[in-house]
Chain A
């Protein structure tokens, strides 16, 4: 008998007195001890479907049709009491963002104990179980950690705590909502491995909700692809990767680099045997130390960067890759002159810029521009698209209104947006469209070098593809150089020629992407590459 049986489920959200559908006609089953992955982009309805299963929709969510049977109990339209009996003890939930998923004013052990007590355990046995579950979830030194508060734990430990809470209910099914998003890639891999092992060991079913088809393919027995609230395709990973039926599925596969190349990461550019052009940007022995008592960092004398050196050759893309806290973002900001280095030299197109005052640097700004990570905050919500794009021209007093308008049209064309967008406000654009506008703005001054700070990490997988292609095309057409910062090796493989791998403020390895990805020399690089999901190699059909 199946553990979860969803038939014809319709779920919607009530907004302005109308119900906007989020899930339509969903059929889904999960068998005992089975791992199923729900894959889809944002707005596909995957999280909504999982929430609806145990009645945890937000206040304006409604199940409008269909049935959902969990362990023999109908949950669609069920009373709160019925649902409560299922939550925790039959179905456990690992929520999406571990940084905010725990009560900040309660000790971690107490939060796990709460789940244990709900099973009827009392007295000293509770404490023992709490430590046991923490241990199971892979938390070292459980007695110490149980007494701590969430803000004292790292993201990875918080995620493990949430796993422990889910396990403490001894459920038959665990729903893991986007278990990979908020954490560093190596941490994600370890946690997913661990979770996978646990559920197999204890015979628990697992429902993974993810936007990453590669993660789904790696770890699930069955993959269900959703789009715009409907199920698009469903099959075993081998079948889906080997012979995808739907064009959408095929698009998703193409967009995931490892899957597209049968389990290997194949960089787009191989420049190992080519001559190196002149550098447009060269950093030599750049170090940055935050002084003791710096309020922002809260530590005493923090070494953010330690003798970082690299070059960006003209017309090429150099990437800085590493996990959070490795110093790649600070390096980018120093290269752009937004922060000052403690020591070292930064040479932009032949001009030394370290130590230059803002005003002295200003004329050089025309050579190097920036594209931010967050497309939703990178445009002034009160500026129209046209105004945002032409602002650099206005700041430098280039041209008059007419010529700026013409230039704006030209730029929109370059980023493949229609000219009618000139009068739109950012609120009327999607994430991908906003990022295109940001790129157009960066091109306005005809720079030689563009710094890209995680340019696609906030976008959906297919949109990421589009933007990366756009960037590559622009580079070919305009001879641009890029300095790319990313935590995602797949993105790096897509558009970079050379790469520096950073860890704890140091460059651990560097060289052409083709070399570093196929023959990594440092252990850390190898770890990073291993952590890219999608290793499941597909046998040629």
Chain B
């Protein structure tokens, strides 16, 4: 049965050869991303670092503990990309073998933050009322303790090493996730299409899983990438201060701290690993910003 209308809606008539629908939307987004050279560079670099965390051997043939006293403290060259340290160990290799520790710590920290933060945020936003009030007060208390100090307290209590540092940093990131998730859940919860679904008989479970979560993840994903960078800086800072893994295992922060005493004579010992880390964080920030512009 057709209704009598003067003429069909002329607005937004797509020509028949333009594809529409979900898949077309996705490919259009990807195409847009591929066209940004800086974004691609950032992704490549991040991928490289992550891969090196699991397979450092792909990028270097030397071992991180191989000392060569005769080749001590050499400046960067074709043979030694990052130079050598005072024991003659190839710095590039040491940096690559430091990746697993930091990357794994970052992943653990992010996992803690995501699970706890998302959980808190969803429960808070969904149930509202007293539950929301209590949980957000708890988040406020966590926020009152400045991040690094909270991490330091946890490290004091649990001892040094990769895992305590990861836990410490993870807990510090939880408030941001909780708040962002909660804000998104609250926003979507009050939108008309959620109400329409409820009026159509949908249970709250269905609404949560099919409507609220899929429409909330955007800002959370952006935050996750950004927080990966924050976590890396925090973990590196903690190991720089001396709370990371014990020698000879070397996280990036420890490497940089070790090289600190040789700044005058062998500046590459600290500054090149430092640049390595900074580029990684910069890359993650850029990816996060691009994602944010895309999901707007």
**Is A in direct contact with B (CB under 8 Å) within the complex?**
yes
Tell me the A residues contacting B by CB distance below 8 Å: 43, 251, 336, 338, 362, 365-366, 369-370, 372-374, 377-382, 384, 388, 391-392, 395-396, 413-416, 423-425, 427-433, 438, 441, 444-445, 462-463, 465-466, 469-470, 473-474, 477
* Residue among A395, A415, A477 with the highest chain B CB neighbour number at 10 A: A395
CB contact under 8 A between A372 and B3, given known A391-B202, A423-B20: no
**What's the Cα separation between A133 and B1 when bound, in Å?**
58
Contact A477 B1 (CB under 8 A): yes
**What's the Cα separation between A477 and B46 when bound, in Å?**
61
Contact B197 A395 (CB under 8 A): yes
Contact A423 B12 (CB under 8 A): no
- Whether B14 is near chain A, meaning CB under 8 Å from some CB there, is yes
Kindly identify which residue among A384, A395, A432 contacts B206, using a CB–CB cutoff of 8 Å: A395
Please name all residues of chain A whose beta carbon is closer than 8 Å to the beta carbon of B197 when the two chains form the complex.
380, 391, 395
Contact A380 B201 (CB under 8 A): no
Please name all residues of chain B whose beta carbon is closer than 8 Å to the beta carbon of A413 when the two chains form the complex.
1-2
* Residue among B1, B11, B193, B203 with the highest chain A CB neighbour number at 10 A: B193
CB contact under 8 A between A466 and B200, given known A395-B206, A425-B21: no
Please name all residues of chain A whose beta carbon is closer than 8 Å to the beta carbon of B8 when the two chains form the complex.
416
Contact A365 B201 (CB under 8 A): yes
**What's the Cα separation between A425 and B214 when bound, in Å?**
15
Name the residue of chain A whose CB is nearest to the CB of B2. A416
CB contact under 8 A between A425 and B195, given known A251-B6, A396-B201, A416-B2: no
Could you show 29 A-B contacts with beta carbons less than 8 Å apart? A338-B195, A365-B199, A365-B200, A365-B201, A370-B199, A378-B196, A380-B193, A380-B197, A391-B200, A391-B202, A392-B201, A392-B202, A396-B201, A413-B2, A415-B3, A416-B2, A416-B5, A425-B25, A427-B25, A430-B9, A430-B12, A438-B196, A441-B196, A462-B6, A465-B6, A466-B5, A466-B6, A469-B3, A470-B5
Kindly identify which residue among A414, A427, A469 contacts B5, using a CB–CB cutoff of 8 Å: A469
* Residue among B12, B21, B191, B215 with the highest chain A CB neighbour number at 10 A: B21
Kindly identify which residue among B4, B193, B198, B206 contacts A379, using a CB–CB cutoff of 8 Å: B193
Contact A338 B199 (CB under 8 A): yes
Contact B21 A424 (CB under 8 A): yes
* Residue among B4, B25, B196, B214 with the highest chain A CB neighbour number at 10 A: B196
Q: Mark B138-161, 1 if CB is under 8 A from A, else 0.
A: 000000000000000000000000
Please name all residues of chain B whose beta carbon is closer than 8 Å to the beta carbon of A378 when the two chains form the complex.
192-193, 196
Kindly identify which residue among B21, B199, B211 contacts A336, using a CB–CB cutoff of 8 Å: B199
Please name all residues of chain A whose beta carbon is closer than 8 Å to the beta carbon of B206 when the two chains form the complex.
395
Please name all residues of chain B whose beta carbon is closer than 8 Å to the beta carbon of A43 when the two chains form the complex.
11
Contact A433 B12 (CB under 8 A): yes
**What's the Cα separation between A381 and B201 when bound, in Å?**
19
**What's the Cα separation between A496 and B45 when bound, in Å?**
64
CB < 8 Å A-B pair total: 105
Please name all residues of chain A whose beta carbon is closer than 8 Å to the beta carbon of B4 when the two chains form the complex.
469, 473
Please name all residues of chain A whose beta carbon is closer than 8 Å to the beta carbon of B191 when the two chains form the complex.
377
- Whether B22 is near chain A, meaning CB under 8 Å from some CB there, is yes
Please name all residues of chain B whose beta carbon is closer than 8 Å to the beta carbon of A431 when the two chains form the complex.
11
Please name all residues of chain B whose beta carbon is closer than 8 Å to the beta carbon of A366 when the two chains form the complex.
201
Q: Among residues 1 to 47 in chain B, which have CB atoms less than 8 Å away from a CB atom of chain A?
A: 1-6, 8-9, 11-12, 14, 20-22, 25
Closest Cβ–Cβ distance, residue A456 to chain B (whole Å): 13
Please name all residues of chain A whose beta carbon is closer than 8 Å to the beta carbon of B211 when the two chains form the complex.
380
Kindly identify which residue among A370, A382, A430 contacts B214, using a CB–CB cutoff of 8 Å: A382
**What's the Cα separation between A336 and B215 when bound, in Å?**
26
Closest Cβ–Cβ distance, residue B2 to chain A (whole Å): 5
Please name all residues of chain A whose beta carbon is closer than 8 Å to the beta carbon of B215 when the two chains form the complex.
380-382
Please name all residues of chain A whose beta carbon is closer than 8 Å to the beta carbon of B202 when the two chains form the complex.
391-392, 395
Contact A428 B2 (CB under 8 A): no
CB contact under 8 A between A414 and B1, given known A338-B199, A430-B12: yes
**What's the Cα separation between A13 and B202 when bound, in Å?**
43
* Residue among B8, B9, B25 with the highest chain A CB neighbour number at 10 A: B9
Kindly identify which residue among B193, B199, B203 contacts A377, using a CB–CB cutoff of 8 Å: B193
Name the residue of chain B whose CB is nearest to the CB of A377. B192
Please name all residues of chain A whose beta carbon is closer than 8 Å to the beta carbon of B195 when the two chains form the complex.
338, 370, 372
Closest Cβ–Cβ distance, residue B126 to chain A (whole Å): 15
Please name all residues of chain B whose beta carbon is closer than 8 Å to the beta carbon of A391 when the two chains form the complex.
197, 200, 202
Please name all residues of chain B whose beta carbon is closer than 8 Å to the beta carbon of A424 when the two chains form the complex.
20-21
Kindly identify which residue among B22, B193, B199, B201 contacts A425, using a CB–CB cutoff of 8 Å: B22
Name the residue of chain B whose CB is nearest to the CB of A361. B201
**What's the Cα separation between A317 and B200 when bound, in Å?**
21
Name the residue of chain A whose CB is nearest to the CB of B204. A358
Closest Cβ–Cβ distance, residue A150 to chain B (whole Å): 25
Contact B200 A395 (CB under 8 A): yes
**What's the Cα separation between A513 and B3 when bound, in Å?**
24
Please name all residues of chain B whose beta carbon is closer than 8 Å to the beta carbon of A462 when the two chains form the complex.
6
Please name all residues of chain B whose beta carbon is closer than 8 Å to the beta carbon of A374 when the two chains form the complex.
192
Please name all residues of chain A whose beta carbon is closer than 8 Å to the beta carbon of B214 when the two chains form the complex.
382
Closest Cβ–Cβ distance, residue B15 to chain A (whole Å): 12
Contact B22 A372 (CB under 8 A): no
Contact B3 A416 (CB under 8 A): yes
**What's the Cα separation between A391 and B97 when bound, in Å?**
52
Contact B9 A463 (CB under 8 A): yes
CB contact under 8 A between A441 and B5, given known A377-B192, A384-B21, A433-B12: no
Contact A370 B22 (CB under 8 A): no
**What's the Cα separation between A378 and B193 when bound, in Å?**
4
Closest Cβ–Cβ distance, residue B247 to chain A (whole Å): 50
Please name all residues of chain A whose beta carbon is closer than 8 Å to the beta carbon of B3 when the two chains form the complex.
415-416, 466, 469-470, 473-474
Name the residue of chain B whose CB is nearest to the CB of A255. B6
Contact A432 B200 (CB under 8 A): no
Contact A384 B22 (CB under 8 A): yes
Please name all residues of chain A whose beta carbon is closer than 8 Å to the beta carbon of B196 when the two chains form the complex.
370, 372, 378, 438, 441
